[in-house]
Structure 1
């Protein structure tokens, strides 16, 4: 797939089919970009035909997808359009504000778990929070939570609850926050189970960061995500708005679920594991992260394996400090320009006699209160890819 910025230069994504990885890496090594002819630009009429035929307002969805690509300066190729449509179909079935089966039950279980973590303070604290009412509401928060059907309904109730107690009952709110800290539980804000939202189930944190990163941005974004245009706008940025040299869209679909460059990094983990004989979970994370997505001080198993690789294969060329510094770039394209990356790829080729792969599907288990059971990133990527292939089949069948 080819994405370009406004200047027309290739800006990342899957390259045109037939472009070999070797040629691509050679071009990157020379700090030049391969000249790839752009595929035909998808028109609104064509994009409308790419939306599954049984969906309502096909043209409306097509307009929003093309608008999102334009807003992020991504070239509207069939591959780009079908990638976005495939994720929408997988994540929401083309519903801007999807309903979640058993949502009231999910909320109740989350509140009970939170109360248990607070110990003796838990039940009375939660009871006090839920007995209140937002301005203009006749029902308590507890009554409203029992009636929620969609993500937006639940999201709004939780936000109103927090705003109400922050302003009207600061002592109760502070007590709950203090109890949370004492018992190392979640913050009250973390009670909200809606961490991904909208038609593409994009990360709320990612979307808020894209919009500015402050509290006002998050409030605004949480409303925008439940509109068709907003969900597609933020989801498109998350799916296609970064450069990666994947030769198959399935890896980008896996990244959408597991995190930026998870597929690329899973291949690195597999190669380091083979070189060092250290068994690693190939989840695409070279470092360990906290709930806010920040690296923690404790060394992950993958980082320990990287250091073991350094000691065995590159003790003079790589310092421990360099490896640790390079690993901090694992969520960036620039990781591929580091000494650590180069050493791993070179050693793997030399030791095994095999060309190192650029990407593989990461091994990640998906657990969510929205799912009836555990899934995997591979399952997600393969499911999206099937929808993508059907979309591309519709494009191939269009009159040119």
Structure 2
């Protein structure tokens, strides 16, 4: 998973833990963390420039109650920092030049993106029809393409895409061209919708679907994410409800951008690089994934490096076991696997020191909502500076 990733790119919680300071190494509460904050305390930790801090604080307090997250300063400031970075505490913020960027993406990469989603066989003909719909429907003088240029917010663009794909669902069948089975159906709009991260905390729609707080259809879920409470609920859930042994919150911030446990896994990849003298990507993904986050059968460079390492050191762990262990890379229990622990042992033997638990993943962030490409280190550092500012507010007596 790559947060704020490319325009058309689309993790169940094992343990309900108490957030950044309640699980693993990063759950060691200090005296400073012990006080449980009130709604008023939380309001005072939200930047003073934010409109209606009382309302935002009320929702954060309520959601932390619902999800059983301790209202410590560290936990609250982690939430405040992410919300502020992602949206400046605006439930459905305007994105500068969003319409022009969306049109540019359509003009430059439409067929490529449809082929990624539908395959080469269907991608080109559907993309061609899609572009024709954009230019001619619902009318020549008010086409979807002209409407796209005028969108100001993510929700505007999301709703427009829903309308476009609804039109396609009613009027077009791939089988009419290819003779293949009907492809355009009930899930085509969701399958092709390029708006995959939503709301004030920019949560992946797939994650929200896996953790729905009520029984709603996909459009209602998307609408919920654009509300103040819904955006906060799914963002806080994603940020806080997984166990990790991070000594510093910045690694959790990095994970929020590049995927759960990517900071831990990037350190594991770095260890493999040093042990095998093989240059590996330190992106935190130990397996290969398709656009829908499904594990691919091909082996990643990290997986190949592990198998070579074990063969060179006569480690009795089969390739099948390695694959089974790596399938837990998005879970805390990966740390209990034979693969993880054997690499730790070999690293200790080789370098005379313990494997570092986490490092900053090396992941590029791109997309039409950004003015230029960034990386996870930039993102995590920006969030961390907001976190530090929030913690300073707790010391100033404002909380």
| Shorter-normalised TM range | 0.7 to 0.9
Displacement of 1:12 in angstroms is 5.2
> Shift of residue 10 of structure 1?
4.7
RMSD: 3.1
1:133 aligns with 2:138: yes
Q: How far is the alpha carbon of 1:313 from its aligned partner?
A: 2.8
CA distance in 1, matches of 2:375, 2:173: 43
SS at match of 1:242: coil
Q: In the alignment, is residue 40 of structure 1 matched against residue 35 of structure 2?
A: yes
1:77/1:178 Cα in 2 relative to 1: closer, same or farther (>3 Å)? farther
The 1:116/1:5 distance shift into structure 2, 3 A limit, reads closer
1:74 paired with 2:69, answer: yes
Matched, 1:319 2:322: no
Q: Distance in 1 between matches of 2:275 and 2:42?
A: 46
TM-score by length of 2: 0.84
* CA distance in 1: counterparts of 2:147 and 2:365, whole angstroms: 29
Question: Structure 1 pair 110/314, CA: closer, same or farther in 2 (3 Å)?
Answer: same
**Runs of at least 5 residues in structure 1 that lack an aligned partner in the other structure:** 19-35, 182-186
Q: Deviations over 1:14-55 (max 9, x none)?
A: 22267xxxxxxxxxxxxxxxxx99711111111010000111
- What is the rounded CA distance, in whole Å, between the counterparts of 2:39 and 2:375 in structure 1? 34
Q: Distance in 2 between matches of 1:127 and 1:188?
A: 17
The structure 1 segments of at least 4 consecutive aligned residues displaced by more than 6 Å after TM superposition are 176-181
Cα distance in 1 between the residues matched to 2:309 and 2:84: 42
1:156 alignment counterpart: 159
- Within a 5 Å distance, the mapping from 1:25-64 to structure 2 comes to 39-64=34-59
Give the deviation of 1:341 after TM superposition. Answer: 1.1
Cα distance change, pair 180–347 in 1 and its aligned pair in 2 (3 A): farther
Aligned-residue offset at 1:97 = 0.4
Does the 8 A contact of 2:77 with 2:390 survive in 1? yes
Q: 1:142-181, CA deviations, whole angstroms, 9 ceiling, x for partnerless residues?
A: 33222111001110111122123313x1447975997999
- Give 1:126 shift: 1.7
Within 1, Cα distance between the matches of 2:269 and 2:204? 25
Equivalent runs, 1:71-150 vs 2, <5 Å: 71-117=66-112, 122-123=127-128, 125-133=130-138, 139-150=142-153
Shift in Å at residue 309 of structure 1? Answer: 1.7
Q: Secondary structure at the match of 2:85?
A: helix
* TM-score computed with the length of structure 1 as normaliser: 0.84
Corresponding residue for residue 117 of structure 2: none
Give the deviation of 1:128 after TM superposition. Answer: 3.0
Instruction: Say yes or no: does 1:222 pair with 2:222.
Output: yes
Deviation, structure 1 residue 275: 1.0
Once the two structures are TM-superposed, the CA of residue 353 in structure 1 deviates from its matched residue by 0.5
When the two structures are aligned, how many residues end up with a matched partner? 368
Listed one character per residue, the Cα deviations across residues 324-363 of structure 1 (whole Å, up to 9, x for unaligned) are 1101100011101111111111111121101211111111
Query: What's the counterpart of residue 16 of structure 1?
Result: 28
Unpaired segments of 5 or more residues in structure 2? 1-14, 113-122
2:327 corresponds to 1:332 = no
The match for 1:193 is 194
Q: Work out whether residues 121 and 179 of structure 1, in 8 Å CA contact, stay in contact via their aligned partners in 2.
A: no
Q: Hey, what's the Cα distance between the residues in 2 that align with 1:70 and 1:285?
A: 32
State the shift of 1:369 in Å. Answer: 1.3
Query: Which protein, 1 or 2, shows the higher relative CO under an 8 Å CA cutoff with sep ≥ 6?
Result: 2
Residue in structure 2 matched with residue 206 of structure 1 by the alignment: 207
Does the 8 Å contact 2:272/2:305 carry over to 1? Answer: yes
**Are 2:73 and 2:391, in contact at CA under 8 Å, matched by a contact in 1?**
yes
Conserved 8 A contact 1:4-1:12 = no
1:145–1:174 distance in 2 versus 1, CA, 3 Å: farther
Q: Which residue of 2 aligns with 1:21?
A: none
Q: Does 1:342 align with 2:341?
A: yes
2:60 matches 1:65: yes
Q: Is the 8 A contact 2:33 2:74 kept in 1?
A: no
User: Shift of the alpha carbon at 1:220?
Assistant: 1.8
